[in-house]
Each structure stands twice: as C-alpha cells, then as structure tokens.
Structure 1
Amino acid sequence: MANPFVHVELMTTDVAKAKEFYNGLFDWQLEDIPKMDYTLIKVGEGTGGGMMKTVQPDLPSHWIAYVQVEDAAAATEKARKLGATICKEVTQISGGWFSVITDPTGATLGIWQMNPAACQKPAA
C-alpha cells in the first residue's frame, strides 16, 4: 500500500465562522451530519475532509491530515516505537478506525484504516 493522504480535517474553535469563510473562499460542498456534530467537506476531485469543533478548548484551530494504512493498530504501535506520542488511541467509527499521533518533531498526523464492509453495497 502506498499510504496516501486520504482525508483532511479542520478542528476549529468556531465552526460557523469556518464554514462561512471556506464556503466563500472555495467551491466546496459542506454537508452537516448533526448526529456526529460534524461537517463533511466535499471538494469534487481530490481528497475531501471534514470540520468539527475542537474538543480541547486551549488548542487553536488547526488542520490535520490523515494517511491510509492497512492496519491502524499496527501503524499506531509502530509510530509509538519510533518515538511518536499517541494523542488519540485507535478508535472505531462507522467507516473504519483512526488514531492521531504526534511525531518526534512535534507534527501531528492522523492514521486511517478503511473498514472494507463500509464500502460494500448491499446485493440488489
């Protein structure tokens, strides 16, 4: 697997203001998912993403990129052994599993493993 960047996410202190800004700046389609308190960013071609309110009030707004892996748990453990700080342990959501790490230089990165069952369409 080539480990491509597959998702970018804005963690913001003000979702409404961010939505207004990015909606005016780019031709993105923003789709709210109320039950997740999340907004999908559909960019047309290329890597899409999402935005949500930051869960840590002392952190400024920031973007985080996610890299696809075959096994999120194995990649997270490998990152730990290579000196990363694990900010968010592997967590399952509807589409797969993710974790968030900070590398030894202080850069934060998301790790994403797709759930193949989430991609399958039901038989007609």
Structure 2
Amino acid sequence: MVERTATVRCVPAVPCWVGLTARDLTTAQGFYGPLLGWEFVPGPDRWGPYLRAVVDGVEVAGLSELGADWERPVAWTTYFGIESADRAADGVRERGGTLAVGPLSFDAGRVALAADPFGATFGIWEGEPADARPGDAPWTAEPGAPAWIELRTADPFAAALFYGEVFRWDDRDPGRFEVRYEHERVVLRSEDRSVAALRAAKDLAPHWEVFFSVPDTDAAARRATALGGRVLDGPADSPYGRVARLADAEGGHFSVLGP
C-alpha cells in the first residue's frame, strides 16, 4: 500500500496540477511507473477510473481513462490554481477563450476545462482551501514530479495577456508571484522559483507542455523507448536543464528535464 504524506496544494495564478487522459490506465501505469518512479493510488471515480501518481508520499499527477466513445487524443492537461473557478471561467469566455467542461465540484474543490483563444487547452482548479499558505510552491522538487510547465504558442505575449487577465496576475503579491522575461520566454515565478513559461513556437499546435524532473535525461529517453514510447526531440541542453521531448506508449506527449 502506498503511504501518502502530502498532496500538491492549489497555488493561485500558476500551474499546480497536471492530469493525463489515457486510453488504458494499465498501459499508462506500465509506462510512467518505471520511467518516473511513480506509485499509484485510487482517486475519485465519479467520472470514471482515476488514479493519482505518488512520489515519496506526495501526489504529483492524476491519470484518468478516456471513454470508449471519446475521440480526444491521449494528452496531458495543465491546471492553474485560482480562488474562484466560476470567476475564472467567466473570464475565459469574456476574453475569447472556450469553456469545454465545468466548473464542476469534486473531492478537492472545483475544476473546469478550457481552451485559450489560440487553441491551447488548460484546466482551472479552485482548491480547498483556495488560499495557499506562505511558502507553498506548486511542485515538489523530487525526481518524477512536474518541474516545469511551458506554453508553446505563436504569440506568447498575446497569450500572456489572456492568462494574466483570467488569473489576475497584476493583482498578486509581488513578494510571492512575479512575471518576468528571460531566455526569450515570459516566465512565471512563485515563491522565488521559476515554475512556468510562455514561449514562441510556430512549428507546433498551441499547447501546454509538461516537464517531469529526472536525474538523467539521456537515460530517461532510452528508458522511454524501451517501455514502448518514442523520443520526439532531444536530448538537448536548455537554459533550465537538459531536455528531451517524448511520447508515451499511447502517443501522449510530454518532456523530461534533468539537471
């Protein structure tokens, strides 16, 4: 039995949870478990089978199973924390985005699924309690946990205006939240740590890319291939570490980030 000692908290204004929609949860467990050192515990099954991935007692990701009649591809979704999912959902619609699901209530708060005006999908999460405590960060630093989230889009500055208005970036305490420009990216910082960015990418459909921490990027890329996945790009050095972009055994795209 996996012992859970903590869960990643809902930190307003920044990405703080990621979820995979898989075709088959057994296949997903067989891939991500050995690759990222995950153990799995059952989650709420109100809308179908659901698992939480655990690293050293900390819940770091959710895995759900696509319905047989869904045409949606296997994909990772990034969830932003917010004090009110309903207000954020209204903001999405008012600013040209699309609300696909919710907001709906579940065991950890309220969630919604949306797309920005450029087509990138993302989630909204109103946690319980919504106000994070001083010092809270959206991710654990352990290998296997999300370490970085990056929006790939044609116009990151236009996208930053959209997300900034929806998640009220200008209203945040500058001592706990900051938006800056570095390494040709619009970077979000939470509690003095860079956690996400928006960057220009004209050769890919707009999307939020999830980066999982690994101790050795090259070894992780080889391991992913052995587990039935593919290497899409890299490994290569970046300003934030050594990166490889991968596809899992069912085609879901993600990246790994090493020292």
Q: How does 1:13-92 map to 2 (within 5 A)?
A: 13-33=23-43, 35-36=45-46, 37-44=49-56, 48-55=60-67, 57-92=70-105
SS in 2 for 1:67: strand
Residue in 1 that maps onto 2:13: 3
Task: Confirm or deny: 8 A CA contact 2:101 2:113 kept in the other structure.
Answer: yes
What one-letter code is carried by the residue in structure 2 that aligns with 1:40? R
| Deviation sequence 1:71-95 (CA, Å, 0-9, x none) | 1000110011011111102100011
Higher CA-based Rg = 2
Matched letter for residue 101 of structure 1: A
> Whose helix proportion is higher, 1 or 2?
1
List gaps (5 residues or longer) in structure 2: 1-10, 131-259
The verdict on how the C-alpha distance between 1:27 and 1:72 changes in structure 2, with shifts beyond 3 A counting, is: same
Displacement after TM superposition at 1:47 (Å): 7.4
Shift of 1:33: 3.3
Higher relative contact order (CA 8 A, sep 6+): 1
- Match among 93, 103, 113 for residue 100 of structure 1: 113
**What secondary structure is seen at the aligned counterpart in 2 of 1:21?**
helix
Secondary structure at the residue paired with 1:115? coil
Contact 2:52–2:59, Cα closer than 8 Å, also in 1: no
Structure 2 counterpart of 1:120: none
Q: CA deviation at 1:63?
A: 0.3
Aligned AA (1:57): W
TM superposition score normalised by structure 2: 0.42
Kindly state the Cα deviation for residue 34 of structure 1 after the two structures are TM-superposed.
7.0
State percent identity of aligned pairs.
27
Q: What amino acid is aligned across from residue 14 of structure 1 in structure 2?
A: D
**How many residues are paired up?**
117
What corresponds to 1:122 in structure 2? none
Query: How far apart, in 1, do the equivalents of 2:118 and 2:57 lie?
Result: 31
More moved, 32-41 vs 100-109:
32-41
Q: Deviations 1:23-75 (Å, cap 9, x if unpaired)? A: 11111121123744210012349871110112352111000010000110001
Question: Which amino acid is the alignment partner of residue 13 of structure 1?
Answer: R
Instruction: Call closer, same or farther: CA 1:18–1:96 in 2, change over 3 Å.
Output: same
CA distance in 1, matches of 2:58, 2:95: 30
